[in-house]
Amino acid sequence: MYLGIDIGSSSSKAVILNEDNEIVGISVKNLGTGTKAYKEVITDVMQQANIEDKDIKYTVVTGYGRITFEDADKQITEITCHATGVGYYLDDVRTIVDIGGQDSKVIKLNEKGQVENFVMNEKCAAGTGRFLEVMARVLGCGLDELSNLATKATKQVAISSVCTVFAESEVISRLSAGESIENVARGSHIAIAKRIMGMCNRVGYTPKVVMTGGVALNADMVQVLSTELGCEIEVLPNCQAIGALGAAILARRTYNKLEA
Amino acid sequence: MEQKILTSKELLNDLVDKHYEGALRAKAEGKPVVWATSICPQELLETMDLVTVYPENHAAAIGAKKEALKFIEHAEGMGYSSDICSYARVNMGYVDLKHSDELNIPMPDLIFCCSNICNTVIKWYENLAKELNIPLIMFDMPFNHTYEVPEHSVKYMRGQIEYAIEQLEIFTNKKFDYDKFGEVMERSNRTCEWWKKATDWAKVIPSPLNGFDMFNYMAMIVCMRGNADGERLFKLWHDELEQKAKLGKGPWNSADEEYRVMWDGIACWPHLSTTFKTLKKYGINMVTSTYPESWNVRYEKNDLDGMARAYASNYANRNLDYDTENVVKLIQDFKLDGIVYHSNRSCKLMDFRQYEVQRRVTEITSCPSVVFDGDQTDPRSFSAAQYETRIQALLEMMEKNKEAKRRG
Ligand code: SF4
């Protein structure tokens, strides 16, 4: 059995693969680095797979928490792990958009599914999941409600500030000027989409485009981004755990010295 | 007379001390002090025996000694925007506070500025002259939009050099000594040649040079190009590297060089050790950057047009085609496995070109690269975790390439 763990800034994920490359355990908790959530997801997948520590032959850890996690055999970046994880489901993906809590990235793959180039967001939180968290808080709704709200938007509201802090005050002033919550929710999706679009252009995106990470669960966000990109975006099953899945695949490959 | 044989590192440290102590002493003795930009025609100042200090160097040193934030915050408090180059903010803060716990420089009596590095320095140095109410000699060097540096730019620069000589004669109340000027030109060229030859040893595999050392020696190529100390230092450094290379020694004693990368942009001075150690941990040696060429200011003795052309042709002042070609050549000459682009919040001119140069270079060479956010002296604009993720990702791409090569 092979364990892949992804300790992100706002969520923890784990996946266990068996010898036949089948997923036998998968778990996601919405708490990240600095919490004990990674322990919970590990316990959780072990129970699902019905195995003990000693049954794990190899462990790969990824995500922001990878540096401080000590029990893995190897750490590999989210970039390589996402590229590998996506390959589990599809072999014709050329562009991955991953919007994480703190980092967003656009990864360009070659025809072998290997990383050809990638760009990540700048140091600030614009264009990341954090931006949406802030927006949800200002709008007084849950993160998972943003999508539903945004689909009821009646017009496009532009949020021009790229900085999360400025965008927050911009949104507050929009709301106090009488703009509806629905329109502002859509506006915040458009703001992220524009940011991601810039990254896609930099990397030189080509279809097929898939989206991974927690933000991919937000259907309106995916819709807005695909309109912006002018092409369809596929959302993979277990989109939040793709990095952990990639880590588990790489654990299996490394242990068995398999080629990519 | 030499007492004992110094290593170039010891000599470097001695010379840095001598440089700053000498400047402070000169000021105390009532001699005038000049503040100048890093790639200015220092030959004129050297010929006139003018004691010169380089604010960019000083700010970098303050940054490396982790004292920059004090000056930066002070400058921002005075109203200077956080978007201004952090060297300028450190310097403007210093001008007001006039004291550093780490390294002090004398206040200037003359400002000497050449905009061949960027146009931020124009406003920064004009501002200094105005605030301190002292004379300013400005070399205005418009950006070269064409691949070749146009003849009119060279003529324009030459005219300004001639005019600066007149201004210096007035300032010092002394005739300009053209014979001495010739000697200084000759020596400056020799020093630059040693600098280039020394840094070229990094072409050898493994490279005897650890590029982070180059960052340290850079301080001296800025301020000692025209004097005998500089020539001695760079010749010594060159000889040491030559010897190391011939013995097949790599950059570090404790680890082997596994990958060779170029660093684009200025160092992150406040995070020098983090940025260095993260690379070294993975066996990545930074073997070169665009800097070896920046101070390879070369021309024939007494050839004023050649000198004007050399200053007008600085890398920072060249167009995208030239930049791209330059990086592609570095990849080939230094057999690079990857490139680390420092997207430096301070240096707009370097950043604006970076993405496009990266795109073109990747297209031509497929050499993997990463961009990370940072700043040369403002410690707030850097995240160690983000840096590490990007470096590790670069490593994974370089590993893949190496693996593929091994398999044939
Ligand atoms: S760091 Fe860039 S902006 Fe600042 S002085 Fe140097 S060249 Fe100009």
Whether A120 and A69 share a structural domain? no
Instruction: Among B349, B375, B381, say which to mutate for ligand 1: greatest number of ligand atoms within 8 Å of CB.
Output: B349
CA distances to A53, A181, B230, B326 from A189, rounded to whole Å, are 42, 13, 57, 41
A67 and chain B in contact, CB less than 8 A: yes
Q: How close is the Cα of B17 to the center of ligand 1, in Å?
A: 24
Q: Residue type for B120, please?
A: T
Radius of gyration of chain B (CA): 21
Looking from the CA of residue B38, the nearest atom of ligand 1 is 6
Between positions 178 and 207 of A, the ones with CB within 8 A of B are 202, 204
Select the residue of B386, B392, B393 nearest A123 (Cβ to Cβ).
Answer: B386
Which bin fits B96, alpha (ψ -120 to 50), beta or left (φ > 0)? alpha
Mean pLDDT score of chain A, rounded to an integer?
88
Residues of A within 8 A of B400 (CB-CB) are 114-115
- The count of domains in chain A is 2
Residue A114 contacts B, CB cutoff 8 Å: yes
On the CB side of B362, CA atoms within 13 Å amount to 21
CA B323 – ligand 1 centroid, Å: 17
Residue B216 inside a domain? The answer is: yes
Cβ contact B390–A120 (<8 Å) = yes
- Quote the ligand 1 centre to B214 CA distance (angstroms): 19
Q: Are A9 and A114 within one domain? A: no
Whether A112 and A184 map to the same domain: the answer is: yes
- Are residues A100 and A129 located together in one domain of the fold? yes
More confident residue, A169 or B275: B275
CB B126, CB B135: distance < 8 Å:
no
Q: What is the domain-level CATH number for residue A249?
A: 3.30.420.40
- pLDDT recorded at residue A202: 83
- B228 found inside a domain: yes
Tokens 């050898």 label which residue?
Answer: B204
User: Percent of chain B having pLDDT more than 90?
Assistant: 85
CA angle A141, A151, A155 (to 5 degrees): 100
Which residues form the domain of A54?
A: 1-90+240-260
Residue B200 Cα, ligand 1 centroid: separation in angstroms? Answer: 25
In this structure, the answer to whether residues A149 and A201 fall within a common structural domain is yes
Q: Are residues A86 and A203 in the same domain?
A: no
Query: Are A98 and A86 members of one domain?
Result: no
Lowest mean pLDDT among B127-141, B204-218, B238-252, B382-396: B382-396
Q: Which runs of E-coded beta strand occur in A111-213?
A: 115-120, 209-212
Note the pLDDT of residue A158.
78
pLDDT tens column, B312-363:
999 889 999 999 999 999 999 999 999 999 999 999 888 889 989 998 999 9
The answer to whether B390 and A120 are in contact (CB under 8 A) is yes
Contact indicator for B210, B277 with CB cutoff of 8 Å: no
Residues A86 and A96 occupy one common structural domain: no
User: Looking at the structure, do residues A108 and A34 belong to the same domain, yes or no?
Assistant: no
Beta strands A95-99 and A104-109, pairing class: antiparallel
Q: Sign (positive/negative) of CA torsion A236, A238, A242, A247?
A: negative
- B356/B391 Cα distance (integer angstroms): 20
Interface size A-B, in CB pairs within 8 Å, comes to 41
Distance in angstroms (rounded) separating the CA atoms of residues B68 and B270? 8
If you ran DSSP here, which 8-state letter would residue A19 be given?
T
Residue B269 located in a structural domain? yes
Given CB atoms, is A76 within the 8 Å cutoff of chain B? yes
Interval B150-156 mean pLDDT: 95
Full domain range(s) for residue B290: 20-407
Q: Are strands A23-29 and A58-62 parallel, antiparallel or unpaired?
A: unpaired
How many helices and strands, by DSSP H and E, does chain A display?
8, 10
- Name the pairing type of β-strands A74-75 and A95-99: unpaired
Residue B13 within any structural domain of the chain = no
Average pLDDT over residues B299-309: 93
Q: Do A115 and B396 touch (CB under 8 A)?
A: yes
Asked whether the beta carbons of residue A123 and residue B382 sit closer than 8 angstroms, the reply is: yes
- What letter represents residue B137's amino acid? I
Give the pLDDT band (50/70/90) at residue A121: confident
Ligand 1 neighbours by CB, cut-off 6 Å:
B 56, 85, 87, 117-118, 120-121, 266, 346-347, 349, 376
The helix/strand/coil state of A213 is: coil
Whether chain B has a CB inside 8 Å of the CB on A106: the answer is no
Whether residue A97 sits in one domain with residue A72: no
Q: Is residue B8 a part of any domain in this protein?
A: no
pLDDT of residue A131: 84
Q: Which residue out of B81, B266, B347 has the highest number of ligand 1 atoms within 8 Å of its CB and is therefore the one to mutate?
A: B347
> Count of domains in chain B?
1
Residue B113, amino acid = C
The number of the ligand 1 atom at minimal distance from the alpha carbon of B85 is: 4
- A134 lies in the same domain as A184: yes
Q: What is the pLDDT of residues A47-83, one digit of tens each?
A: 999 999 999 999 999 998 888 888 889 999 999 999 9
Specify the 3-state DSSP secondary structure of A107.
Answer: strand
CA–centroid distance, A121 to ligand 1, in Å, is: 24
CATH assignment of the domain containing B243: 3.40.50.11900
